[in-house]
Amino acid sequence: MARHAADPVTRPPLRAMAGCRFVNDEAGNLTIFAFSLFMMMIMIGGVAVDLMRYESMRTSLQNTLDRATLASASLSQTLDAEEVVTDYFAKAGLSEYLRSVSVDEGLNYREVVADARAATDPYFLHLIGINEMDAPGHSIAEQRMTNVEIMLVLDVSGSMGSNSRLTNLKTAAREFVDTVLSSDGEDRISIGIVPFNGQVNLGASLRSRYNYSHNHQVSNVNCVDLPASVYTQTGISQGIELPMTADADTYSTTNKTNGYVNRTDTDYATVVSGNRWCPPSTDNTVMMPSQSISALQAKISSLDAIGATSINAGMKWGMTLLDPGTQPVFDYFVANGTIPEVFEGRPFDYTDPESMKIIVLMTDGEHFAEERVNDDYKTGESTIFKSPYDGNYSIRFDSGRPGVSGSNKYWVPHRSEWRSLPWTNTSNTNATTLANNPMLWEDVWSEVRLQWVVWQLYARALGTNNSQRAAQYNTWIAEFREQTPTGDMNDQLQQMCALAKSNGVTVYGIAFEAPSGGQTQISQCATSSAHYFNAAGLQIRTAFRAIASNISKLRLTQ
């Protein structure tokens, strides 16, 4: 049907129209949500900026505090400790933040405590009610001489007498003793000295504390031949048997011609004192730990250059006198007044947190194959006889004689003949009585060289031609004498160095004008490359000074 003009227009209800408008306006809510997220991101970033500024300031303060307190706490620092801290903050541009510095010090310690605080005004955190952030700093540094046990293991072999080496060593070591002990007012530091050449001369008192055997009764010869087994241990048991080193010249050679060399011949028969593996000495002996600067310096000044080089033996005895197992020895010497009462209970345990153990090992050489007389020929009755009338020798062979001897048992080297009785050179003595009184081995070695004895009394007696005499010489020299190859000595040294380091003992090594072999051994023995010094001439003083300055502990405690 057609609509008339007068008919009213039909419109949607008002409620429906309103609903349509709401749907159309819904797009505006995304803008509000995005704006809210943006503001939140700005707030989070601002907080991060505030926190970064705070942490940066706190770190800067703490680092400056730590550096300042460490420098001012050093006992070698001669400036006023508080002024040192103040100066550090001034140079860092942080003076306004330093709040307090306190210093506590004594004869052998210094403690510095410092505090700082910086207020940082936050850019954004005030929006959530945080209007100020304080960056605090606190540091304590302390340098203190704790219980320190030091052994100076010093080479006094013959080569130390060349090029003023021993003179320079004495100067450096005396200064070292003064530097280390002069700042110790609490009896915490002890220093002992182990001089070594081909052996270590313990001195009669220290030697008596061990289970020694083959006592030759020779004054001032108090070395012992160490078995290889001791180099697998940190110390030396007082129960293990230690044969004393024979007072014999085993190294000097002799004339091996098929003829007699007189026993008084200074070139081929007479004992050379410097070629004894334990030269008689009251100077080159071990000094038990002491706190007396004057006594230690006097000992150092008395050292003498003589003999061969056994670094392994020096290191072994240095470690032994730091080993806790040696406490009974220390207690004995405390009781008889040899060492101070404050040393009772030393050497401390390796794990004692309040103690430091240090070895300063110095040599100018490298290992020289050690020679020792075998035990059967060190002491006791020999088969050698000496005429009380002309001093000539003869020797008895109960078996093994060559056919030319017939039934005669006694070889007389100066006459190149066999006899039925020992040589006497007089008809006014009862040769039978003399035959019942052979020499003691220790008396033989005090008069003639070992190699002269082997050639004149054995090789010439038992060999009837050159090849037989040479073979007899080699057989009997091996019977009388034992040698330790230098390779074995190097291994023994490094075994001791490894044991020292594994037990927390700090080893400083000084190769003093040493050959390459010695340098290698000492550098490998040192705790680290920083603990090794290759010195020449007066540089040895620099080495000892550096060691002295590094001995005390400087530690940051908080």
- For residue 556, what pLDDT is reported? 63
| Residue 552 predicted with pLDDT over 70 | no
- The whole-chain average pLDDT of the chain stands at 88
Q: What residues does each domain of the chain span?
A: 30-144, 147-203+281-369+485-556, 373-483
Looking at per-residue pLDDT, the higher value among 349 and 183 belongs to: 349
Question: What pLDDT is recorded for position 1?
Answer: 42
Asked whether residue 51 carries a pLDDT value surpassing 60, the answer given is no
pLDDT, tens only, 365-382: 999 999 999 999 999 999
Q: H or E segment at 493?
A: helix 486-502
* Most distant CA pair in the chain, distance: 186
- Which of 337, 366, 219 is closest to 285 using CA atoms? 219
Top-confidence residue, 19 or 338: 338
Buried b (16+ CB within 10 A) or exposed e, 134-167: ebebbbbbbbbbbbbbbbbbbbbbbbbeeeebbe
CA–CA separation, 421 vs 414, rounded Å? 15
Model confidence pLDDT, tens digit, residues 477-494:
999 999 999 999 999 999
Which helix (H) or strand (E) segment is 283 a member of? none
Nearest to 462 by CA among 478, 474, 448: 474
The architecture in CATH of the region 147-203+281-369+485-556 reads 3-Layer(aba) Sandwich (3.40)
Q: What's the pLDDT tens digit per position in 520-550?
A: 999 999 999 999 999 999 999 999 999 998 8
Write down the pLDDT at residue 4: 47
Mean pLDDT, rounded, for 317-336 = 97
3-class DSSP string for 341-363: HHHCCCCCCCCCCCEEEEEEEEE
pLDDT of res. 5: 46
Beta bridge partners of 111: 104, 142
- Which burial class, exposed, middle or buried, applies to 260 when counting CB atoms under 10 A from its CB (0-12, 13-18, 19+)? middle
| Angstrom distances, CA of residue 222 to CA of 21, 84, 450, 521, 529 | 117, 54, 20, 27, 35
Rounded to a whole number, what is the distance in angstroms from the first to the last CA of the chain? 102
Which helix H or strand E contains 384, and what residues bound it?
Answer: strand 384-386
Tokens representing residue 538 in the block: 């007066």
List beta partners, residue 481.
Answer: 373
Tokens of residue 29, six digits: 């809510």
Distance, in Å, from the CA atom of 230 to the CA atom of 235, rounded to the nearest integer, reads 7
Q: What is the mean pLDDT of residues 76-88?
A: 89
Cα within 13 Å of Cα(189), Cβ side: 25
- pLDDT the model gives residue 32: 66
Q: Is the pLDDT of residue 2 over 60?
A: no
In tens, the pLDDT along 106-144 reads 755 789 999 988 766 655 555 555 555 566 879 898 877
